[in-house]
């Protein structure tokens, strides 16, 4: 399915690409493989994920949002939207009361059975699954098509793609740095190679030490982390403050990340949401890894100097 979607990311049968409120029908295939048909661009949209809410605004369709899930906090206007529950447990009756002509959800984040319940109630559903950085721009373009705001969406997606390309060129030749990204403490969770944060690490010249896992958020053990001996540990937690458990690693003084004080924090809204701000989080990751490379180079220089003596 992924190959098909990559080959035909915007399967458009009939489309009006302008943002002038035209009423031409629209047909798109979403990231779950479903074909969505709208008689005209959506005017009343409900978002089932915080990152989707932000993408709708990025696509120039924020004024068409009539409801969103909890933690839809960006941009500021999103905080005023009626809430329809959380992304893992939304209220179908509340959604129906808002009379949306389009509901945009999240393949891996929204419970499948709840999404199917909305379909059975007659709602039009479009699901996103941005696993790679480039998918953020693609989803913006798709939402612009669905909402009839393609001109604005294309401008935003082009800006995102250009920034991504610039960063990729800048860090393409940097020495690799081995990274453990911690999602949670209990259970201890990290990211697999198909998770978008792993894509961010790669962009910055980082190497996800658990990239071999196919699941998005695999559980691991402390022993497995110690055996891999990462040069860097990055965490973001669930709120705006540095998670306390990031400091728990200091008891393992022999680990390279600890001995060199390479324990870093990224605000979750910048790294755990699939939005244009993901590149803000990526910039922070890249800066941290550059700092690590400079430190490693200095240590290597001192070691070689001592050996020369």
pLDDT in tens, 85-144: 999 999 999 999 999 999 999 999 999 999 999 999 999 999 999 999 999 999 999 999
Per-residue pLDDT at 308: 55
Per-residue pLDDT at 93: 97
The two three-digit tokens of residue 47, written as one number:
């978002």
pLDDT at 74 over 50: yes
pLDDT at 20 over 70: no
Q: Among residues of the chain, what percentage have pLDDT more than 90?
A: 81
**pLDDT confidence band for 290 (50 / 70 / 90):** very high
Cα 214 to chain centroid, rounded: 17
3-state helix, strand, coil in the chain (%, to 5): 45, 15, 40
Contacts of 262 (CB under 8 A, 6+ apart): 231, 232, 233, 256, 288, 292, 295
C-alpha distances in Å from residue 53, one per residue of 27, 132, 209, 216, 252: 21, 18, 32, 22, 40
Indicate the average pLDDT of the chain.
89
Q: Please identify which residue in the block is written with the tokens 């905080």.
A: 79
Domains of the chain by residue range:
2-162, 174-308
pLDDT at 189 over 80: yes
Per-residue pLDDT at 296: 76
A 10 A CB-CB count for 78 gives 19
CATH number of 174-308: 3.40.50.1980
Q: Exposed, middle or buried by CB within 10 Å (0-12, 13-18, 19+), for 66? A: buried
**pLDDT confidence band for 245 (50 / 70 / 90):** confident
Separation CA 106–CA 129 (nearest Å): 6
Among 19-23, 66-70, 238-242, the range of highest mean pLDDT: 66-70
Q: Where are the alpha helices (DSSP H) in the chain?
A: 2-7, 50-58, 92-97, 112-120, 133-147, 150-171, 196-203, 222-228, 256-259, 268-271, 278-308
The answer as to CATH 3.40.50.1980 being correct for domain 2-162 is: yes
Q: In this predicted structure, which of 16-25, 97-106, 125-134, 258-267 has the lowest mean pLDDT?
A: 16-25
Q: Is the pTM of the predicted complex or chain greater than 0.95?
A: no
């Amino acid at each position: 399915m992924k190959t098909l979607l990559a080959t035909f990311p915007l399967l458009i049968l009939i489309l009006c690409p302008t943002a002038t409120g035209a009423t031409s029908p629209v047909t798109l295939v979403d990231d779950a493989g479903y074909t969505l048909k709208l008689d005209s661009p959506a005017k009343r949209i409900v978002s089932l994920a915080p990152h989707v809410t932000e993408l709708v605004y990025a696509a120039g369709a924020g004024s068409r949002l009539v409801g969103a899930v909890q933690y839809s906090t960006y941009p500021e206007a999103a905080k005023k939207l009626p809430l329809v529950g959380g992304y893992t447990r939304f209220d179908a009756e509340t959604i129906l009361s808002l009379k949306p002509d389009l509901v945009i959800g999240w393949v891996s984040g929204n419970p499948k059975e709840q999404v199917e319940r909305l379909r059975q109630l007659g709602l039009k559903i479009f699901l996103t699954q941005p696993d790679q950085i480039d998918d953020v721009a693609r989803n913006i373009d798709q939402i612009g098509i669905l909402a009839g705001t393609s001109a604005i969406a294309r401008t935003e997606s082009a800006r995102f793609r250009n920034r991504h390309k610039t960063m990729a060129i800048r860090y393409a030749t940097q020495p690799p740095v081995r990274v453990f990204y911690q999602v949670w403490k209990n259970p201890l969770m990290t990211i697999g190679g198909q998770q978008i944060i792993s894509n961010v690490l790669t962009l910055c010249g980082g190497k996800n030490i658990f990239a071999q896992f196919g699941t998005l958020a695999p559980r691991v053990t402390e022993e497995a982390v110690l055996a891999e001996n990462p040069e860097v540990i990055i965490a973001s937690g669930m709120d705006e403050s540095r998670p306390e458990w990031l400091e728990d690693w200091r008891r393992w003084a022999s680990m390279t990340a600890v001995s060199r004080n390479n324990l870093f924090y990224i605000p979750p809204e910048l790294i755990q949401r699939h939005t244009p701000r993901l590149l803000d989080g990526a910039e922070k990751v890249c800066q941290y890894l550059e700092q690590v490379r400079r430190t490693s180079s200095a240590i290597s220089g001192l070691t070689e100097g001592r050996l020369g003596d």
